[in-house]
Structure 1
């Protein structure tokens, strides 16, 4: 049995973290039905994770106290309590457990340093970055040592690490924390049940968008740290030579969309929140993935203006964009080019506005259909089914070392 422990930020799949957890579990349980997935749940909160057979433990919602005292340390306490709860759940079953697979750094640190050794179980940590570099980390000055302890324990003492990128795997070897042989690269993925090539004309007709205008699109759960203001500036500049160019941005929180709308208006762009209104820029609220794919399918170019991380950058949208075959514009970050090589992408130096404009212009001019086919072929190696198989292979590897 595989024990899979996660702490999704949304039980109704309103975050990239939750989507990845849900779809990974769906495919993992399709291949290993005995997988025990442990997920927290607050009260009677609705949860999509029942669909994939997850067991919900009561969420020890200590982090909610941050409304009174704003500190990430309260969430560290919450995750610590949940780690103990999962250990109590797993202990009676330990004879049948092959490995414990964990996606959350605090929980991983407790399992690596305490519960795994006590129960005699191998622990795998899927590291998305160092906690000491997490934008949401504890900011108290005295907590710096705690962050280092969390990272060194979660990464240094687990049986094996699952890294999203080869670049992060190299970093761990460079700083001497892990032998590369103990780090498996398991990139993010896309849901092949949803993301597939679309009929552009049909997508535009469905959305009420102009049939011939060039369209640049972006989709994301949140806009934080994604340099979307740079994308707006690039769209405004490109409209000097392509006056019918349309920007389509989908997702984000209401406050983020409002701030972006204000910036767009200051750039002289007409903004609308529905495609029923003529505009230069459409800021559409979040919608189900089945609708997202139709919006993206209407575009001539898809954009990743920036990423939150660098050596661990593996955004879901990259894989989803590739699956559609549409030209992809992205910053020249090694972790991204591990997945989509430069000859199949339109790259620019990070946060370089002129470079972003040039890359967008080149992407909009793409006419070679073989490039779309090549992107789709690469994407096929990164379905959630393949991701689940990579996780199972890593579990088999650590199990055979026992």
Structure 2
């Protein structure tokens, strides 16, 4: 039995980490129906994870106290409590467990440093970055040493580490924390049941968009740390050569869309109610992925203006964009180029507005290239969630073999 422990930030799949966890579990349980997924839930709140057979444990909602005292440390306590709750559930069946797979850093540190060794269970930690680099990390000055300790225990005492990128894998070796053979690269993925090549004109007709206007699109659950203001500023520059440019920004939280709406107005964009030729910025609230894909299929160019992380950058949208085949504009980051070769994308130096503007303009100006579009879709086929689940199970089998 494989035990999968996660702490998704949304039980209704309103965050990227929740989507990744849900779809990975869906494919794991297809291949290993005995996978036991442990997910916290507050009361009887709605949860999509029931669909993939997850077991919900009561969420020890200590973090809610941050409304009274704002500190990430309260969430660290909450995750600690949850780690011990999972151990209490697993302990009676520990001899049935092949490995515990954890993708939450505090739970991983407790399982790797204490719980796994005490119960005699191998622990695999899926690391998405160092906690010391987490934008939501504890900010108290005295907690800096604690953050390093959390990272060191989770990354050095686990039986194996799963990394989203080879760039992060190499960092762990450089730090002397892991041998390269103990770190397995398992990138993010896309849901092949939703994202596939579509007909651009049919998508535009469905959405009521002009057949000939150039369209640049971006989709993401949240806009924070993704430099959407830079993307909008670059698109404003492009209106000199593409006066009828349409920019589609899909997703984001209410206050993020409102801030971009004001910026778009100040830059002279209409909101869709103006006549063609004046430039439009469409801000689409969060929608199910099956609806968002139509907006992406309608676009000429798909953009990734920036990523939250650097050496662990493996955004879901990268794989979703690849599956659609359109030209992609993205920053020069080794982690991204591990997936997309330079000749199959339009790149720019990170946070370089002139470079982003140039990349977008070049992508719009080039004639459609069916060979490159096909090459992007071929890359995507290696990064379905089914392939991701198989890579995870290969790590489990490797660890099981090593533990004998």
Bin of the TM-score, shorter chain as denominator length: over 0.9
Structure 1 residue aligned with 2:386: 385
CA RMSD in angstroms, aligned pairs only? 1.4
User: Partner of 2:251 in structure 1?
Assistant: 251
Deviation sequence 1:345-398 (CA, Å, 0-9, x none): 100000111111111111113321100000000000000000000000000000
Contact 2:244–2:279 (Cα < 8 Å) also in 1: no
CA distance in 2, matches of 1:119, 1:242: 63
Looking at structure 2, the residues matched to 324 and 284 of structure 1 have their Cα atoms a distance apart, in angstroms, of 19
| CA shift for structure 1 position 264 | 1.3
Q: Find the residue that maps to 1:339 and give its secondary structure.
A: coil
Instruction: Write the mapping of 1:209-358 to structure 2, written as runs, cut at 5 A.
Output: 209-272=209-272, 280-358=280-358
Aligned-pair distance for 1:272? 4.6
Q: CA deviation at 1:271?
A: 2.6
Structure 2's unaligned 5+ residue stretches are none
In the aligned structure 1, how far is the partner of 2:9 from the partner of 2:15? 7
Q: Deviations over 1:58-103 (max 9, x none)?
A: 0000000001100000000000000000000111111111000000
Partners of 2:355 and 2:252 in 1: CA distance: 25
Tell me how far 1:29 sits from its aligned partner.
0.3
The 5 A counterparts of 1:152-231 are 152-231=152-231
**Partner Cα distance (1:235, 1:88) in 2:** 54
Tell me the distance in 2 between the aligned counterparts of 1:241 and 1:391: 47
Determine the C-alpha separation between the residues in 2 that align with 1:273 and 1:178: 56
- In 2, Cα distance between the equivalents of 1:93 and 1:125? 21
Determine helix, strand or coil for the equivalent of 1:282.
Answer: strand
The reply on whether 1:372 has 2:363 as its aligned counterpart is no
Q: Residue 106 of structure 1: CA displacement?
A: 0.1
The answer to whether the aligner puts 1:98 opposite 2:98 as a matched pair is yes
Contact 1:218 1:304 in 2 (8 A): yes
TM-score by length of 1: 0.98
Distance 1:164 1:273 in 2: 42
Residue 266 of structure 1 deviates from its aligned partner by 1.5
How many angstroms apart in 1 are the aligned matches of 2:349 and 2:273? 30
In 2: Cα distance, 1:237 partner to 1:355 partner: 12
Match of 1:72 in 2: 72
How far is the alpha carbon of 1:273 from its aligned partner?
9.3
Contact 1:273 1:283 in 2 (8 A): no
- Separation in 1 of the partners of 2:141 and 2:395? 37
Q: Please say if residues 274 and 280 of structure 2, whose CA atoms lie closer than 8 Å, have aligned partners that are also in contact.
A: no
Query: Counterpart of 2:196 in 1: which secondary structure?
Result: coil
> Counterparts of 1:79 and 1:153 in 2: how far apart (Å)?
15
Tell me if the contact between 2:11 and 2:18 (Cα under 8 Å) persists in the aligned partners. Answer: yes
Q: Aligned equivalents of 2:156 and 2:14: distance in 1?
A: 32
On the 8 A contact 2:103/2:125 being kept in 1, the answer is yes
Q: After TM superposition, where is structure 1 displaced by more than 3 Å over at least 4 residues in a row?
A: 272-276
- Specify the SS of the correspondent of 2:116: helix
User: How far apart are 1:274 and its partner, in Å?
Assistant: 12
2:138 counterpart SS class: coil
Q: Is the 8 A contact 1:209 1:275 kept in 2?
A: no
Distance 1:198 1:145, change over 3 A: same
| Matched-pair contact (CA < 8 Å) for 1:197–1:324 | yes
